[in-house]
Chain A
Amino acid sequence: MSAALARLTSHGTDRRAAADEFRARHHGGVIGYVGADVPVEYITAAGLLPLRLSGTPGAPSAAGDRCLGTGLDPAARSVLTRLLDGDFGPLDGVVVSRDCEASLRLFYALRELRRVDPALALPPVHLVDVLHLPHRTTTRYVRAKLGQLRATVETWAGRSIGDSALADAITAHDRLRELLTGAAALRRSHPARLTGTQALTVVAATTALPVDRATALLEALLTEADQLPEHEGLRVFLTGSPHDTDHVYTALEDSGLLVVGEDHDWGDLLFLRRTAAPTEAALAERYQYNGPAAPRASIRARAAHTRRAARECGAQALVSYARIRDDAPGWDYPAQREATGLPSVRLSRQPYGALGDEAAEALAALAGPLRVPAEPAR
């Protein structure tokens, strides 16, 4: 394995390691965040480390289940449980976005727990309410919310965020997005040079590392691309729920599939859109028009995106994986299936971080007739 890929895989798996290093060097300064709609540029610009919070499939989540109820995406319940358990280490603050209902409910729970149970000593929490309708009024609102976030992060950091520091952070995170796009091409090549699991883990690593370290490792990975081994499998495009760990990808690829693309924001959607200029106005538009993620985009927009992305990946089949209590993907699927025209399988009400009992049979039924060489991506 390439050295860069090994280090990225390590940070994608042990997501706390870089934060612990950062804390030790800077005496704190780690900000947890929930959701791809958090403009991490402000956290970077303030000299703090943004750490995207993830759950732990299979681990007990009783505290999160109790506070949030079992009607909510189990990934969010797991994140809350981990926050209550102090699993992420000391955090100077938590920023939560409105990327889905589960995130919003997680924010409300944190805010209320701080109010009614201060003995829990939860970190301060801030909601950044980035909305997505394509209206000028929404842009103005998102600008206001970004201004609020800037002020909160300044308070947490104990210093102001200058315009030039913000511009530098925007440029740095866009450079990272550009490199992630290059890495994504490695899984789409014929033959693929990264598995879907590896690609997902690389993306995850970049949400746990300081942006400059993530950038350096990605540059090294791309330099070493020719030395990466080749991977085979039925090329599938994965739609549906986001995956904050690699468990499901591993299970899919163990069954002979190769996940060449996805439309969730722990994967390709995280870095699809760039910021048009290093300004706060452009940043607001970047996050407003980020997506199209399942919980916030229209069925029509999702279907068009899935069709385009699956073609670009050279996917031979479509797999829709919807976690139990993740409501949006089930409504998207009929239009996505029709739009892509690909053989497809729908895995509904799946357990967090795993495939349900019927999944293996359904995947085998999908793969059986399709064991033919894929066409190069168009």
Chain B
Amino acid sequence: MSAARLASASAATAHQRQWFADLHQEVAAGGDLALVNADAPQEIFRAMGIPYVVNQWWSSIVTAKRRAQDYLGLLRERGYPDDSEQYSSIPLASAFDPDPANAPWGGLPRPTIVLTETTGDASRKIFDIWDTQPGVSFYPLESAAENDVPARWWELMPRDWERAVGSDRLDLMTGELEGLIRFLEQTTGRVFSETRFAEVMDLVNEQQEWNRRTRDLIARARPCPLPVNDSIPSVMIPQWHRGTTWARDAARAFHDEVAERVSTGAAVCPEERARLMWIGRGLWFDLDFYRRFEQSHGAVFVWSMYLAIAADGYLRYGGDPLRALAARFAAFSDQLYTPPWSAEWYVKEARHHGVDGVVHLVSEDARGSYFTTRALEAAGIPVLELHADNVDARSADGDALTRTVGDWLDRRVRAGD
């Protein structure tokens, strides 16, 4: 049987729409709102009851609604680059939107606090510009790097995170978080309760344990029981609400739905002949892309980083809760983008899911792709590098991308059929 859209995906999307509508009202009534980067320690905001919007989530909404080019144009009009960190910069243009009422989902309410780590060369600049907007305060967090790291981080992170991340980075990030808490106490008048924070941290671990079980179910299932573009909202919308009982329960509902599908033999593509992994950010301007090769090639995307990093990247047990939170974020992007961590992890996940090939989205930015592609090929897994930006459709010809993947499937993945 062919799989219908996941109920958990529809429920998550409906929840998000209602939450965002409520948020509009709260902010209109004078409430605080934070805009935070995806790899920032959102748990502190959760514990203090400060609502937040995730910068990259808003970017994905703008892009999916085909407004990314309008927003990049607003940056260009003000003399800012339109070809630098678009995934992070598109939401900034919301501040310049002359017609916010007609923006996607009613537009991004004006934040009062913006937060990012000082990663890359441009991230903090984007938030510097937010800082010049009336009523907006920017709190930058350091982003540190380690000279030497143990390669198999996913085995260490849940309980031996001190060794995986390194004490210097944790000392720094814990200090940074203490500073952030004091900043938020002073700017919002809200209280940081250690008791409440411990509850939030426990809920996050429970949620990610469900995600881990779901990831493992999908890895073992043949055929693949759900489309990857359904799994993204099912895991990511609750991810942005982590630390709440709703998010924990949504992750469990997602798991139970996948388990049910596995038990009934549901299939995305009943004629599944090739299992594919998508490495890179979501292709927000063309989410249907993921399903374009099912009929033509029997090729199904069974993996994206969103569920996998939820399964492996967030769990932190033991120790002081604030230091554990520091351990969640001090090296978060290293897990995805820095060798040897990234390269070894993608190989582990490719084997775990039994993939026949990997499509690797490579944007024209600093993160590079060589070591991940090299490691996968060395493990005997064919890799296709697709060069495009995940939110800026100017960089990609959709038909050409489709042809490229189709040709590659014929030539390398299914050549031996």
| Chain A interface (Cβ < 8 Å from any Cβ of B) | 66-72, 98, 100-102, 104-105, 107-109, 111-112, 115-116, 126-127, 129, 131, 133, 135-138, 140-141, 144-145, 148, 294-296, 298-300, 325-328, 330-334, 337, 348
Contacts and interface: CB of A to CB of B under 8 A. Distances in A.
A333 B179 contact: no
A219 B80 CA distance: 43
Contacts of B85: 327
A327 B120 contact: yes
Nearest to A76: B366
A108 B118 CA distance: 18
B263 interface: no
Nearest to B338: A108
B331 to A, nearest CB: 12
Interface in B150-183: 168-169, 171-172, 175-176, 179
Given A69-B369, A126-B147, A137 B80 contact: no
B411 interface: no
B176 A137 contact: yes
A116 B363 CA distance: 24
A331 B125 contact: yes
Contact of B81 (A69, A300, A330): A330
Interface in B78-118: 78-81, 84-85, 118
Point out which of B128, B176, B367 has the most chain A C-beta atoms below 10 A from its C-beta: B128
29 contacts: A67-B368, A67-B371, A69-B362, A71-B365, A102-B366, A104-B145, A109-B370, A109-B371, A111-B340, A112-B340, A115-B340, A129-B144, A129-B147, A131-B142, A133-B118, A133-B140, A135-B176, A137-B171, A137-B176, A138-B142, A141-B142, A144-B168, A295-B121, A298-B128, A327-B84, A330-B80, A331-B81, A331-B125, A331-B129
B142 A69 contact: no
A355 B340 CA distance: 37
Interface in B316-372: 338-340, 343, 362-371
B27 interface: no
Contacts, number: 134
Contacts of A294: 121
B172 A327 contact: no
B412 interface: no
Given A71-B364, A135-B179, A332-B125, 14 more contacts: A67-B368, A69-B368, A71-B362, A71-B367, A101-B366, A102-B366, A141-B168, A144-B168, A144-B171, A325-B364, A326-B121, A327-B84, A331-B81, A334-B78
Contacts of B131: 300
Given A68-B368, A140-B171, A333-B79, A127 B121 contact: no
A239 B387 CA distance: 31
Given A148-B147, A299-B128, A334-B80, A327 B370 contact: no
B6 interface: no
A339 B369 CA distance: 39
A38 B309 CA distance: 34
A331 B364 contact: no
A85 B172 CA distance: 37
Given A112-B340, A112-B343, A331 B84 contact: yes
B294 to A, nearest CB: 30
Contacts of B375: 116
Chain B interface secondary structure, helix, strand, loop or mixed?
loop
Bin the interface of chain B by size: 35 or more
A101 to B, nearest CB: 5
Contacts of A115: 340
A140 B370 contact: no
Nearest to B138: A298
B220 interface: no
Given A133-B118, A328-B121, A127 B147 contact: yes
Contact of B368 (A72, A136, A145, A333): A72
Interface string B379-406: 0000000000000000000000000000
B371 to A, nearest CB: 5
A72 B122 CA distance: 13
B173 to A, nearest CB: 9
A71 B368 contact: yes
Nearest to B120: A101
A331 B122 contact: yes
B124 interface: yes
Given A115-B340, A144-B168, A331-B129, A129 B145 contact: yes
Contacts of A327: 81, 84-85, 120-122, 366
Contacts of B365: 71
A273 to B, nearest CB: 20
B374 interface: yes
Contacts of B144: 129, 131, 141
Nearest to A69: B368
A290 to B, nearest CB: 15
Contacts of B126: 331
B171 A334 contact: no
B146 interface: yes
